[in-house]
Amino acid sequence: MKINFLINGNKQVLDVDPMRRLLDIIREDLQLPGTKESCGEGECGACTILLNGEPVTSCLLNAVHADGKEIQTVEYIAQQPLGKLLIDCYDETNAVQCGFCFPGFLIASYHYLKNDGEPSLEKIRYALSGNICRCTGYTKIFESVLLACQRLQAGKV
C-alpha cells in the first residue's frame, strides 16, 4: 500500500505493508534511529513521536495510521527553539543518565511546553506519566522541565 505523510517537514511516499509498525518505518526505512524501542507494547514511551502534534507511541501504530498525517521525531524536535531550550535544561541539571528514555521524554516535555508550559510540578508529572525512566528516579527530569517552563515564562527564549 502507498502511504503519504509529512515527516519532520519532508514529504514522504512509501510503498509498504500497511500493517508494518510505524516505529520500524521510522527507524529502519527512514533511518531515523533517535526514536527508541524499549517495550514494544505501548507502556514505556521510548518510541514517542508527535503525530499531528500529539504524542503517541509509535510501536503501537501501523503504517496506515500515518497516511495523510504529519509526524515529528526527536531529530526534528531537537532543532526547534523549545526543543533546544529543553535540551539545555536537561543538560544543565545533569538529568540524563543512560539516555535511552530521553528522546521520548524530550517529545513528551516538548508537547507540554508547547501546549501548556505552566511551571507546575503536578501538571508536569501528569504530562510525563506515559514515559518510563529506570535510571534517574525522575526527580531531575521534573526539575529540568520546570526550569524550561520558568525560562519560557520569563521570556528568556
Partner 1 sequence: MNYARKVDARAKLDGSCKFLDDYSYPGMIHGYICYARFHHGIIRKIIFPSDFNLSEFVIVDYKDVPGSNIVPEPEKDQPFLAEKEILHWGQIILGIAHPDRELLKKFISKIQVEYSNLPALIDMHECLDDEQNIFGKEITIDHRLGLTIDPSWIRTRGIYYTPHQEQAYMETQGMIAIYDPDASSMFIRGTMQCPYFVKAAVEAIMGKTVAETVVETSEGIGGAFGGKEDFPNIIAGIAALLSYKSKKPVKIVLDRSDDIIITTKRHPSRVEIETFTNPAQKTIEKMTIDYRLDAGAYQTLSPVVLARGVLHSFGAYQVKDVFVRGRLLRSNTPPNGAFRGFGAPQAVFAIESHIDKIAAQLDLDPYDFKKINLLHSGSQMPTTQKIIDDHISDCLERVIANSDYQRKKDEFAIYNQQNRDKKGIGLAVCFHGGGYTGNGEKVLRSKVRLRIEKDARIRIFVVNTDMGQGAYTTLAQMVAESLDHPLELTSMELPNTSRAPDSGPTVASRTIYIVGNLLRELALDIKKSLAGSSLSTYVKTNPEMFPRDYFREFSPDPSVTFDEESFRGTGYRDYSWAAAVCEIKFHASTYHIEIRKFWNVLDIGRPVNIGIACGQVQGGNVQAFGYALTEFFQKKKFGRMHGFTDYTVPLSYDIPEIFLEFIHTDSPLAKGLGEIPMDYPAAAVRNAFHNATGIFIDEIPLTPERIFNQLRNQK
Q: What is the DSSP letter of 2?
A: E
Minimum distance from residue 57 beta carbon to ligand FES (Å): 4
**Stretch 107-136 residues interacting with partner 1 (CB under 8 A):** 124-126, 128-129, 131-136
Task: Count CB-CB contacts under 10 A for residue 91.
Answer: 11
- The grid coordinates of residue 29 equal 526505512
Cα–Cα nearest to 28, from 58, 70, 54, 5: 58
Coil vs helix vs strand at 10: strand
Instruction: Give yes or no for residue 61 binding partner 1 (CB under 8 A).
Output: no
Question: In whole angstroms, how close is the CB of 78 to partner 1 at the nearest point?
Answer: 4
Instruction: Write out the binding residues for partner 1, residues 76-95 only, by CB under 8 A.
Output: 78, 86-87, 90-95
* C-alpha to C-alpha distance for 129 and 70, rounded to whole angstroms: 24
Mask: binding to partner 1, 7-46, rule CB under 8 A, as x and -? --------------------x----xxxxxxxxxx-xx-x
Strand partners, 69: none
Give me the residues that bind partner 1 (CB under 8 A), please.
Answer: 27, 32-41, 43-44, 46, 73-75, 78, 86-87, 90-103, 106, 124-126, 128-129, 131-142
